[in-house]
Amino acid sequence: MSPLRGIAFKVASVCVFMAMASLVKAVSGAVPPGEVVFFRSAFAVPVILVWLLLTRGLREGLATRNLMGHFWRGLVGTAAMGCSFAALGLLPLPEATAIGYAAPLLTVVFAAMFLGENVRLFRIFTVALGMTGVVVILSPRMSALQAGTVAPTEALGALLALIGAVFAALAQVFVRKLVSTEKVSAIVFYFSINSALLSLLTVPFGWVWPDPMVAAMLVCAGILGGLGQVLLTSSYRFADASVVAPFEYVSMLLALVIGYVAFGETPTLVVLAGAALVMLAGILIILRERQLGLERARQRRAMTPQG
């Protein structure tokens, strides 16, 4: 294990994913979300295949014993991606990013509902804290919509971002079930294949032929998506998830900078306050999971016969 290398890979993946999100936002007015999902997924596949070849993991990356499990993970993951991409076109980048932080909080809830995981008082408190932050972020959009002082598209964007977080959390539940029988490389590969194929179902809803600049940006988004996934997966080879996970919140700093410089967006204090609550809840859950992991490791060592 090399925690510093793991953290470096994680931060690099966050930077790459934010660059991808910026490209998705930039092309949102030119192509529909389903088409963006196709480019994001299809052009990620070559990157993943090259990675599997270089790491000599091609055989295990293509081997699977649970095709239907990959399909269901792909279905909810594709829905999450489509909703998130649509939200990026309707909301400021920092706001869409902050709402997306609800996904790991909702994963705790869904894991208890569908996987039977124990959820104790501390995690209930942190989930409630984080969802309070989400409500804080959403409340100006919804109240302004009722008052008629905000465009319905902005309220729709907030709703889509939240729905995307729900689907992303469900996708993580499927991943938790898949890892018991499947290699991580196979999960990564089949998700890109499934999402590319599933996105084709949106063709009747208005795909367009992009101009060369937009096409180049879409292809770059796909390549960056594949590269980000490779970097993220690599980070877990060198450090525990509880070590690298907090660095996900570097994305908020990047979203603030990119949103301001590239799109002229300045988040409100309400959005920043809500985002802070959501991030605090996420970090508390990560720290608690790390503590429990260390306690379980000590118990295993204590039970191991000495001699």
Give the residue, 289 or 210, on which the prediction is more confident: 210
Q: What is the pLDDT of residue 211?
A: 96
Q: Quote the CA–CA distance of 12 and 230 in Å, as a whole number.
A: 10
- Specify whether the CB–CB gap between 157 and 96 falls below 8 A: yes
146: tokens are 């009722």
Radius of gyration of the chain from its Cα atoms, rounded to whole angstroms: 20
Mean pLDDT in residue range 180-206: 93
Q: Quote the CA–CA distance of 204 and 48 in Å, as a whole number.
A: 29
Other C-beta atoms closer than 10 Å to the C-beta of 58 total 16
Q: What is the pLDDT of residue 34?
A: 96
Query: Who contacts 42 (Cβ-Cβ below 8 Å, separation ≥6)?
Result: 192, 196, 222
pLDDT > 90: percent of the chain: 63
219: tokens are 């292809």
pTM recorded for the entire structure: 0.91
The rounded mean pLDDT for the chain is 89
Residue 265, SS3? coil
Q: Quote the CA–CA distance of 203 and 31 in Å, as a whole number.
A: 11
pLDDT grade, residue 65 (50/70/90)? confident
Q: What is the pLDDT of residue 243?
A: 79
Query: Who contacts 39 (Cβ-Cβ below 8 Å, separation ≥6)?
Result: 218, 219, 221, 222
Q: Quote the CA–CA distance of 183 and 62 in Å, as a whole number.
A: 9
Q: What is the pLDDT of residue 297?
A: 61
Query: What does the domain layout of the chain look like in residue ranges?
Result: 3-303
